[in-house]
Structure 1
Amino acid sequence: MKIVAISGSLRKASLNSALLEAAKAYFPADAEVTIYPIDDLPLYNQDLDGDTKPEAVVRLKNAVTEADALLIATPEYNYSIPGGLKNAIDWASRPGFQSPLAHKPVAVMSASMSLVGGARVQAQLKQVLLGVLSEVYNAPEFLVPAAHQAFSESGELTDAEVARKLERFIGDFARSVAARSTV
């Protein structure tokens, strides 16, 4: 099983990047989980979306194409999707109806310092992903409210309850991805 994990945060000490690192431990041992950086993507510009795309875009689209599924962990910026993450989706969603995101299983997680844990960004992001024909894993939702209290300063997940829920979420998602490949 090949999973591409994307953090919606570009920050070095990102709680969502730390959440992805913690999630890697809960995939089956034979799963290949790669945290894919999106910080080198140019802003989407249809003029650049021709036969000779920027190299960073080609790498992203190849990674998404080769993956069995995506795992996204994202913060909530001003009640919405971070610009860098939306930009990556815009690039990966081309060409419409035949993009690497079409029919790709995607799970969404969020870690936020707020008490709602990124619920608003999850709702918006899932709508965008459905619009580009991704197969969004909806149940259960995985949110980490007051995330700054769930991780150590070095980025280790220290909250046992969050870890237990993460293990279940990732286990269920991995089983759903594996079931698709046996059909």
Structure 2
Amino acid sequence: MKIIALSGALRRASYNTALLRAAASMAPAGVSIELRMLHGIPLYDGDVEAEGMPPAVTELREAIRAADALLIGTPEYNNSIPGVLKNGLDWLSRPSGEGGKLFGGKPTALVGATPGGFGTVQSQDALLSVLRAFGNDFWMGGRLMVSKAGAVFDADGRLIDDKVRAQLQQFVEGFVGFVQKRSA
């Protein structure tokens, strides 16, 4: 089984990227979780689209298409999803109708980490609204929202909080089980 872990952050020391790396390290035997970023994807512009799909978009689209499932790590910016993640999804949904073809029925789960105290509940809710239009097969068995992420990861981005580690392990196992049931 192959899961694409898409980070909705660009920052090198992103807590969300660190969370997805930790998830990848917990993948059970026979499962790979491959981290993907949104670097190189330009701001959506219909004129650019008319000239041809940017290579970074095509590469990410093909990785998602080839994967069995999608795990998205989203920060929370101003009580919603970050612009870079929304922009990436906008590109992936082009040309019109591509979002449904790419994401329709794709098992999908959400995680998020933030330095704030409320986790990423609002960004995850906003992201669900965007992805619902594509027909993703959401795993509603769990959402992981990490608060006070500065105390959960060390300076090198390693997960150091045992409680969050246990939650993440349970989350990864639950999502893998969901994907396995869908493909059986």
| Structure 1 equivalent of residue 157 of structure 2 | 155
Taking the aligned partners of 1:74 and 1:137, their CA distance within structure 2 comes to: 16
1:60-139 correspondence to structure 2 within 5 Å: 60-94=60-94, 95-96=96-97, 98-139=100-141
Return the offset for 1:139: 2.4
1:20 to partner: Cα distance: 0.5
- Between stretches 14-23 and 43-52, larger displacement belongs to 43-52
Q: Would the aligned equivalents of 1:71 and 1:107 in 2 still touch at CA under 8 Å?
A: yes
1:36-91 Cα offsets, whole Å, 9 max, x none, are 12111111223333583111111111111101111111110111111111111112
Between the aligned partners of 2:68 and 2:17, the Cα distance in structure 1 is 20
Consecutive unaligned residues of structure 2, counting only runs of 5 or more, are: none
Select the structure that is richer in helix: 2
**TM score, norm. by length of structure 1:** 0.94
| Structure 1 residue ranges without an equivalent (≥5) | none
Task: Give SS of 1:100's match.
Answer: helix
Number of matched residues?
A: 182
Provide the C-alpha distance between the structure 1 equivalents of 2:137 and 2:117, rounded to a whole number of angstroms.
28
Q: Report the 3-state secondary structure (helix = DSSP H, G, I; strand = E; otherwise coil) of the residue aligned with 1:132.
A: coil
Identity %: 40
Contact 1:92 1:101 in 2 (8 A): no
Structure 1: 4+ residue segments shifted above 4 A: none
Going from structure 1 to structure 2, the CA distance change for 1:50 and 1:103 (only over 3 Å counts) comes to farther
Q: How far apart are the structure 2 equivalents of 1:37 and 1:111?
A: 16
User: Structure 2 length as normaliser, TM-score?
Assistant: 0.93
Code of the residue aligned with 1:52 in structure 2: it is G
Letter in 2 for 1:102: G
- Secondary structure of 2:123's counterpart equals helix
Report the alpha carbon displacement of residue 136 of structure 1 after superposing the two structures with TM.
1.7
Aligned-partner residue type, residue 57 of structure 1: V
Q: CA RMSD in A?
A: 1.4
Kept after mapping to 2: 8 A contact 1:8/1:73:
yes
- Greater shift after overlay, 128-137 or 69-78? 128-137
What is the rounded CA distance, in whole Å, between the counterparts of 1:148 and 1:168 in structure 2?
22
Matched, 1:35 2:48: no
Alignment partners' CA distance in 1, 2:7 and 2:118: 19
Contact 1:107/1:173 (8 A) holds in 2:
yes
AA paired with 1:156?
Answer: R
Whether the aligned pair in 2 keeps the contact of 1:72 and 1:107 (CA below 8 Å) is: yes
Structure 1 position 153, deviation (Å): 0.8
